[in-house]
Amino acid sequence: MFKRPALALAAGAALLLLAAPAVTAAPYTAAELEETVTVDPTGHVSADGTVTLSGTYRCTDSTGAAFVSSSVSTTKASATHGTSTLIQGIGGTVAVCDGVTHRWENTSRPSPAIGPGKVSVEATVAELRFEGILPLPRIHADERHEVTLTKA
- pLDDT digit string, tens, across residues 104-150: 999 999 988 898 999 999 999 999 998 889 989 999 999 999 999 99
Q: Answer with the residue of higher pLDDT: 117 or 32.
A: 117
Structural contact between residues 93 and 67, judged by C-beta atoms closer than 8 angstroms: yes
Dihedral of CA atoms 102, 69, 111, 149 in degrees, nearest 10, equals -40
Q: In terms of residues, how long is the chain?
A: 152
Q: With a cut of 90, say whether residue 82 has pLDDT above it.
A: no
- Give which of 78, 17, 46, 10 is closest to 149, Cα–Cα: 46
Give tens-digit pLDDT for 3-24.
444 334 344 433 333 333 443 3
Q: With a cut of 90, say whether residue 53 has pLDDT above it.
A: yes
Confidence of residue 61 (pLDDT cuts 50, 70, 90): confident
First-to-last CA distance in the chain?
Answer: 89
42-45 and 65-78: which strand pairing?
unpaired
Average pLDDT of the chain is: 82
Give residue 60's pLDDT: 94
pTM higher than 0.95: no
Confidence of residue 45 (pLDDT cuts 50, 70, 90): very high
Buried b (16+ CB within 10 A) or exposed e, 115-148: eeeebbbbbbbbbeeeeeeeeeebebbebeeebe
